[in-house]
Amino acid sequence: MPDYATLAPSAPWRELRTTRADWDDADPAALESMLVSAHLIRAFEEKVLELAGQGLVHGPAHSAVGQEGGAVGSAALMRATDQINGSHRAHHQFLAKSIRYVAPRGLAPAEDFSPAIRGLAQRSLAEILGLAQGFCRGRGGSMHLRWAEAGNLGTNAIVGGGVPLAAGAAWAHKRAGKGDVAFAYFGDGAVNIGSVLETMNIAAAWKLPLCFFIENNRYAVSTHVEEATAEPRLSARGSAFAIPAWKVDGMDPLAVYLATKEAMELMRNGGGPAIIEADVYRYFHQNGPLPGSAFGYRDKAEETAWRARDPLDRLASEMEQRQIIGSSGVAALRERSLALMAEVAHELVEQADGKNRIKPALWPDEGFRDHGIRGDLSELSGQRTEELETFSGAIDGSAKFIDAVANVMQRRMATDDRIVVMGEDVHRLKGGTNGATRGLAAAFPDRVLGTPISEAAFTGLGGGIAMDGRYLPVVEFMYPDFMWVAADQVFNQIGKARHMFGGDIDVPLVLRTKVAMGTGYGSQHSMDPAGIFATSPGWRIVAPSTPFDYVGLMNSALRCKDPVLVIEHVELYNSTGPAPVDDLDYFIPLGKAKVVRKGTAMTILTYLAMVRPVLEAVERLGVDAEVIDLRSLDRAGLDWQAIEASIRKTGNVLVVEQGARGTSYGGLLAAEIQNRCFDWLDQPVQRVHGGEASPSISKVLEAAACARPADIDRGLRQVMADQGRPLS
């Protein structure tokens, strides 16, 4: 019979319960401030539910009535420079952190509410109602609350979606070395999400000062936690990643306070992340003013039992026993909190025809609809721009493309210590799998981060760093197909952040990836991502085809305050072309295409690795074609001035791309050209693209799936034939 040894977790996992002595020793001022905060939050949430019941909240109203103890207990010790984010149910956490920010010395129950508290309540309610004076100018509503000044990074409608972003803030805090911490609040429904668990792993491996604060309210909409997991003590997740964890009664604000105090000491002193699981209870359904029992997934007896443990009553009772406050003082605080919210709501809502309505003047102007999807690129104004034809520095005419990739990053990291590079194996293998980060790890060991295989976590972490604003992340996807693994972070989080949070935040992030068609890596490693990213708001896209262009476009991408996808191609890596010898500081503007061959018979629009074979085909067939290397591919970056000038001249358009038809970029481009340039076209826009299927492993089938020189030839012949000028 084998011998067995019982294994113990590497990090402590404890349940913390308060004692009478803890309450006796508690700072009365801290208890008072938590009580006031809790009453303000309760009154706020009740007003939101009241307005929702009147049909004045457009969209969900995810209230946290009953869960205030976790929010006020954890926020009570936060610095202004600590940061938090939360989930779709986060009014209470947003308010608790913001109250702590506007009243850092605390709040006394008998004091009048300050103008700052009133302003916080009004702007928060205005945001939930979708009004222009809200923190996100009405765009965020109940689920997307951001006030960066107060340390609120932005709450999140995607379950678990904000957790990787909070890790980015925590990384920035660790790098800054000032002892600040980040909190990611999420619920029992998020604790089994892959990106959350990935982030726990990376935070532990990198010892990030991040608290994973789990509000276990027992229900993800209507599914009970014990239906969703075999281990409903959710803080047990810490044992898998060697993260110290605390389990507390979230209906006891002091228990949360004490656990947070211990967790903060650990995090501020370099001990890495912490987990706090607070058992709480939402009194109402997932959304709206009805209890869960009205929907049949829990009974009234359960709800009554939890209401008997109300966190506001618990605080008040313990304080009354110690003569810190009397019952009349608690009642007065409650009335003043309700009165404040009534006054605030009255400033936003009016009566018309016997019904309440939003005051019409407070709605955002419809012209604000698209404002702030991306920035205005003013950060690039005044920079020295160059094209190869105007460049006066020394040029190496046969430089390797991959060397230009590594060299420009070496130069930028040497001149800008904000830049941090991260991705799988970027710190090893002499510059990653292709040499793109060659020499960087040796020169900047603390800024080149080899990540676990966890695209969702490290991409979101990069997004969090970007939104924090102190550092500039360059994230590498080894292959662009991996964007689907990290799709939430790429598209829902990073791409939408600027617009969603009001249009005036910066998201400076560069995402590098390579198209690997022709390498035999098959369907899951070979796609061209341009078509997918171009249909997703917020991203800028560049696709350099020469070493010289790569340097200038990467410099612009790194200066840009929007997220930028930089697409590379394995066919180009070992190709040679002109590149600067020692001047790596010029820029090529984003949104500037290049006419690489002039002509009058047709306009050919292409990019990346297809530029060279297009030029070769044009010369081989003797076509008088104008060839434009698009270089910038996002909607805002298309150089319509150059494209339209060419189409006016030629009247015929051929779009050439290598990748699959289904995810193609050319379909979007052709549709735009048809809409904008219809009167100048002599025939419909023609296209060259790959097949419907993704590339296969088989060399023959892979070649058939991609656009080849023969396909380009056929495209040229078709355009000329449709003009009545067939090629011989």
Tell me which residue of 617, 602, 619 sits closest to 653, measured CA to CA. 602
Residues 454, 477 contacting (CB under 8 angstroms): no
Count CB-CB contacts under 10 A for residue 345: 21
d(CA 457, CA 187): 18
CA angle, residues 211, 171, 96, in degrees to nearest 5: 40
Residues 572, 609 contacting (CB under 8 angstroms): yes
User: What is the DSSP secondary-structure string of 21-55?
Assistant: HHHHHS-HHHHHHHHHHHHHHHHHHHHHHHHHHTT
Tell me which residue of 169, 172, 25 sits closest to 85, measured CA to CA. 169
Longest pairwise C-alpha distance within the chain = 101
Element housing 420 (H / E): strand 419-423
Tell me which residue of 276, 109, 124 sits closest to 187, measured CA to CA. 276
Tell me which residue of 422, 11, 455, 420 sits closest to 198, measured CA to CA. 455
Take residue 302 and report the two structure tokens written for it: 């359960």
Tell me which residue of 481, 492, 559 sits closest to 165, measured CA to CA. 492
> Of these residues, 45, 424, 455, 571, which one is catalytic?
455
> Of these residues, 525, 569, 571, 702, which one is catalytic?
525
Residue 227 a catalytic site member? no
Residue 499 a catalytic site member? no
- What are the strands of the beta sheet with 625-629, ordered from one edge? 594-597, 625-629, 602-606, 653-656, 686-688
Cα dihedral 81/84/90/91 (nearest 10): 10
Residues 640, 648 contacting (CB under 8 angstroms): no
- Provide the residue count of the chain: 728
Q: Where are the beta strands (DSSP E) in 144-181?
A: none
Cα dihedral 387/390/394/398 (nearest 10): 50
- For residue 121, what are the β-bridge partners? none
Q: Which residues are catalytic?
A: 455, 525
